[in-house]
Chains A and B, each alone.
Chain A
Amino acid sequence: MQSSNNQYLQFVGKPHITAVIAGGRRRVNYTFEDKSELVEEYDINNHELISRKWKRVSNIKESQWIYEVGEAPIDQQGELKLSNANPIFVRKDTPQHFQYRVRNLNYPEDVYKVEVDENTQEIVIRTSNKKYYKRFAIPDMRRANLKLEQGKVTHVYKNNTLIVSYPKPDQILEREYQIRQEFDKLNKKKPKEGDLECVQQ
């Protein structure tokens, strides 16, 4: 897709890429040499990243999809699943920011504290009433070897939802711009549902 391969730092070798239009979205499938997979879904028109999931192959147990962006489908059969009264943590980026939303949070606004832990390179959400706590890293920044900076993370609370934002650095903005150019080129061929597209490496 673009010349810089460092976003695949975690995986082996160059991936084999296919793109398909499915369900009104552009789905890009990367298959790596060790049989792990990455699937990204973009909105067709504005090229927004809707979901990104990874699957690592393990011989010992069944591999499962790990969702980096977007929500995993709920496992109805699971023996232990989160009750629906719990807060739900989801990532959904905007063009300029990495954005994380925590829905179903009923506590007053001043309870929340969001900061960057520079040692572990993670963003931490704390509540002063000890009801919710979450630590997470931004994989895109990790892959590009960029550091999270204290003071850049902001948060907003409205409609029972806490929205945490971190601005995307220039390097990443440029990469995304390149991807969008690619997709615009592909869109010029007016693709329809089910079309397979060849993607430049």
Chain B
Amino acid sequence: MTTVNAPKISEYKEATRIERVGAQSHIRGLGLDGDLEPRNISQGMVGQKKARKAAGIILNTIRAGKIAGRSILIAGQPGTGKTAIAMGVAKALGNDIPFTAMAGSEIFSLQMSKTESLTQAFRRSIGVRIKEETEIVEGEVVEIEIDKSATSGAKTGKITLKTTEMETVYDLGAKMIESITKEKITSGDVITIDKVSGRISKLGRSFSKASEFDALGAQTRHVQCPEGEIEKRKEVVHTVTLHEIDVINSRQKGFLDLFSGDTGEIDSEIRDQIDSKVAEWKEEGKADIVPGVLFIDEVHMLDIECFSFLNRALESDKAPIVILATNRGITNIRGTTYKGPHGLPIDLLDRCLIIQTEPYNEAEIRSILEIRCEEEDVEMTEEAKEVLTKIGVDTTLRYAIQLITTANLVAQKRKSNEVDVEDVRRVYSMFIDHVRSTQYLRDHQAEYMFDEYQKQTQKMQVE
């Protein structure tokens, strides 16, 4: 599929990288046009027009930033694009607005109480935009040298940056090397590195190197080689979340703790202090509060305590927009013996706007499969696509998607670049979906261990 160049001595470049592709990595946005009308296939999203349109309206509410504490529930059968819509909203909002995604079960942790987890999640979704002076390193890359030690496997590296007036060499730590390879930074790129946070941004390619390369990405801009000093203090607009400010103020080495993941419970006094300070800054015009989005997937896993907490928290003026998602019907509300729609109590449902997602039709399934094929870098013949679409309709969309890469591997085994019908048939017979699995179990119940079903039917017959 993809090849990796052997590292040369002075310059180390990987031609392409095999990146792990996630289930929703093909989503780039909601795919809406200027009037908020969803295009049929756009930005990775297919069909599901009603839901996407509704999400688009919510998106604009979020962007306006004036309304806090709204909640939305996306409900629908499994495999109907709930998480995909949330991802679409996240990507459409961009990097500026904090988006925290979590699954319902993450609340339950031994280190923190449920309400603390929820409070932290809430505060992670509210950003404070501040103008700050940070030290940055800005220059055109002359040379990058990365060596991998044969004994310890640790990578060390150097990068040479220049401006119109000077040149400097920097030593790179492991995390920096990772960022550099991930962003595919090469000689001729003009980059900015924030010394404090370690973030690298590519500003573009230098004009002087323009003639050397033919194939450039669509977003590549050409910029001037920077002037003056390499190390500068610049005013940067910085978005920090309330949670980060909490952590920094609650302990001495706060910033490092953020990375080591050890947060623990934070005093409510500190939180109150921070709240009043942020309100002060807002008055003085030093900072802006940016309410973001908190996405809780599998929300039926939360229990009645969490729901009561949510009810209250949603009413504060510091609440982010909360998007919930679930695929349950009328089920038990955890922590009680009552059943409720979607596994949620009615008072919480009342506070939510509910978006329904519907199962896809055949044409939509086909488009989704085509997009996934592209994302996973797999070539397929038309007939194979037909067969796969039919499988998707008969069984489930997810099963069909999972067959794509497996069929590709089978095709490679017979030395073909394209997946054909026989490959799809082979994987279909090798990996069964849950419908066939259930059927098989029904037929062969008795042969499995700990079989209760047989005894039960016997008991019923006797009675």
Contacts and interface: CB of A to CB of B under 8 A. Distances in A.
A100 B271 CA distance: 46
Main secondary structure of the interface of B (DSSP, over half): mixed
B167 A130 contact: yes
Given A61-B196, A62-B254, A131 B166 contact: yes
B173 A79 contact: yes
A77 B173 CA distance: 8
B198 A80 contact: yes
Interface residues of B, number: 34
B429 to A, nearest CB: 51
Nearest to B287: A60
A108 interface: no
Contacts of B132: 58, 60-61
Interface string B138-168: 0000000000000000000010001111111
B112 to A, nearest CB: 23
Nearest to A78: B173
Contact of B163 (A59, A60, A61, A133): A133
A134 interface: yes
B352 interface: no
A80 B179 CA distance: 12
Contact of B255 (A61, A80, A133): A61
B354 interface: no
A83 B173 CA distance: 12
B236 to A, nearest CB: 11
B446 interface: no
Interface string B73-89: 00000000000000000
Contacts of A79: 172-176, 198
Contacts of A135: 228-229
A85 B160 CA distance: 11
A61 B176 contact: no
Contact of B228 (A59, A60, A133): A133
A134 B240 CA distance: 32
B170 A61 contact: no
A132 interface: yes
A154 B167 CA distance: 24
Contacts of B229: 133-135
A81 interface: yes
Range of interface residues on A (Cβ < 8 Å): 20 to 34
A127 interface: yes
B168 A86 contact: yes
Interface string A112-143: 00000000000000110011111100000000
A66 to B, nearest CB: 10
A115 B172 CA distance: 33
Interface string B367-406: 0000000000000000000000000000000000000000
B158 A59 contact: no
A82 interface: yes
Contacts of A127: 165-166
B262 to A, nearest CB: 16
A59 B277 contact: yes
A80 B144 CA distance: 13
B158 A83 contact: yes
B171 interface: yes
Contacts of A77: 173
B411 to A, nearest CB: 43
Nearest to B273: A59
Interface of A: 58-62, 77-83, 85-86, 126-127, 130-135
Interface of B: 130, 132, 137, 158, 162-176, 193, 195-196, 198, 228-229, 238, 240, 245, 248-249, 253-255, 277
4 smallest A-B Cβ distances: which pairs? Answer: A133-B165, A79-B173, A133-B166, A83-B169
12 contacts: A59-B249, A59-B277, A61-B255, A79-B172, A80-B171, A80-B173, A81-B171, A81-B173, A82-B169, A86-B169, A130-B167, A133-B166
